[in-house]
Amino acid sequence: MAHKPTIIIIEDEEIWLTKLSKLVLKYFDVKLEVYPSFNEAETRLMDSSVNFDLLITDIYPDKKSKQTKGLQFVDFANQIKYKPVIVVTGEPSLVKTILNNYEVINAFDKGGFERIDFINAIGSVINSKKAQDTQDSNDNSKNSENPEDFIVS
């Protein structure tokens, strides 16, 4: 049985958490983990025993905060976990900055949110993951089917 990719969504606004989750589940066969709390999300991201394939995160932990916790998550996912990230923010002025200064698949403004672009961004990651899993599976079956191909001297 093929491994289902795991996507983590971190979003403090319930309406956006629901919207993003529904889009992901409508178009992709994945395991979805949702976190309305940045503290719970941080605990999950730091858990080295469980991996994930894509992080989708907001920037601010709540509407009143100006702490860019989500950008810390972007750096952590890229530099420590080596995982792709998509950012969704209510700050349109930050989208270009994020795209230029952070390693992200894409960044989206909630005000001008384009569902098809969001779905395509996720698809690029999921399809790449599936292709890699298929290649790894093919490599493993080649290795296990032909042990005589390996010569030990």
Say how far apart CA 136 and CA 5 lie, in whole Å.
15
3-state secondary structure 31-85: EEEEECCHHHHHHHHHCCCCCCCEEEECCCCCCCCCCCHHHHHHHHHHHCCCCCE
List pLDDT tens digits, range 93-122.
999 999 999 999 999 999 999 999 999 999
Q: Structure pTM?
A: 0.84
Tokens of 6: 């795991």
User: CATH classification of 6-149, choosing from 3.40.50.620, 3.30.360.10, 3.30.530.20, 3.40.50.2300?
Assistant: 3.40.50.2300
For the chain, the average pLDDT equals 87
Distances (CA, A) of 135 to 43, 140, 149: 32, 9, 19
- Residue carrying the six token digits 């730091």: 46
Q: With a cut of 50, say whether residue 150 has pLDDT above it.
A: no
